[in-house]
């Protein structure tokens, strides 16, 4: 029967790992210390009990003395127990603190790594922009030097004197300043024109809203308090025209003012 079981399940037998014998020197040092202390305490307790029994048998101790002795040794045992318990709790606390600090350091490392990557990316972009700006400045300087060279060549061909050259260069510098001023004036004019176009567009929209309401509609508004019957589009237009108060009621004063404007036209 045993041979049959071995032949049917050879894999299960082969998969079982051999049991390893743990030797005393292979144990952890704290565990080994506790093991020795426990063995020593156990032996002492056994010896103490034996000695107590012999003493009681020979000397006829009273119950009070036996109880006091037992209480004293019990206090010693409790002190030893609490010492090892406190040591174990302290070890757990230090282990948990070490693990917590380790996790925090790992997390901070990851955050620093990500922030470092973003910071390096920003620094690369800033360096790229600085390089472009520097290249543009060098190009402007080269173009300016080319212009000066061309002017000098033209003056050499025209055989101008030094005084005439200084005069023409001064006039050219003034013209450059005037050109820059004209460019700035052009930019301001375009900006002001865009602002005025926006004002005109708003005025036209307001005029369109104003024209969309005739006298009958305004007179109708004077006689109603609730505008919920009106369409949502009409309510929006009335609100844009300032004919609706914050409370949602019709502002009759503004309606009368608008009627006066229509009557003047």
Reported as a single tens digit per residue, the pLDDT across 161-177 is 778 778 877 887 887 88
Percent of all residues in the chain with a pLDDT value above 70, rounded to a whole number: 74
- Give the tens place of pLDDT for each residue, 2-55: 444 444 444 444 444 444 444 444 445 666 777 787 788 778 777 777 776 777
- pLDDT tens track for 111-124: 777 777 777 777 77
This prediction has a pTM of 0.30
Rounded to whole angstroms, the Cα distance separating 86 from 187 reads 81
Contacts of 213 (CB under 8 A, 6+ apart): 237, 241, 258
The tokens for 23 are 């030797």
Delimit the domains of the chain by residue range.
Answer: 67-133, 161-197, 213-264
> For all residues of the chain together, what is the average pLDDT?
71
pLDDT of residue 186: 80
CA 255/CA 257 separation, integer angstroms? 5
Cα 151 from Cα 148, distance rounded (Å): 5
């Amino acid at each position: 029967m045993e041979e049959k079981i071995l032949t049917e399940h050879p894999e299960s037998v082969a998969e079982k790992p051999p049991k390893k014998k743990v030797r005393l020197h292979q144990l952890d040092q704290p565990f080994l210390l506790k093991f020795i202390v426990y063995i020593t305490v156990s032996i002492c307790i056994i010896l103490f009990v034996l000695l107590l029994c012999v003493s009681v048998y020979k000397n006829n101790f009273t119950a009070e003395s036996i109880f006091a002795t037992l209480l004293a040794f019990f206090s010693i045992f409790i002190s030893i127990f609490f010492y090892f318990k406190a040591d174990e709790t302290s070890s757990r606390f230090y282990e948990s603190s070490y693990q917590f600090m380790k996790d925090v350091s790992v997390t901070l490392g990851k955050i620093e790594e990500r922030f470092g990557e973003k910071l390096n990316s920003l620094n690369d972009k800033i360096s790229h922009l600085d390089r472009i700006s520097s290249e543009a400045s060098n190009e402007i300087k080269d173009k300016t030097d080319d212009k000066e060279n061309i002017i000098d060549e033209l003056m050499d061909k025209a055989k101008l004197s030094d005084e005439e050259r200084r005069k023409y260069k001064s006039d050219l510098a003034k013209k450059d300043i005037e050109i820059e001023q004209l460019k700035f004036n052009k930019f301001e004019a375009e900006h002001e024109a865009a602002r005025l176009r926006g004002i005109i567009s708003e005025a036209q929209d307001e005029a369109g809203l104003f024209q969309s309401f005739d006298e009958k509609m305004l007179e109708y508004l004077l006689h109603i308090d609730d505008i919920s019957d009106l369409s949502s589009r009409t309510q929006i237009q009335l609100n844009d025209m300032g004919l609706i108060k914050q409370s949602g009621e019709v502002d009759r004063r503004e309606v009368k003012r608008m009627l006066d404007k229509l009557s003047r036209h």
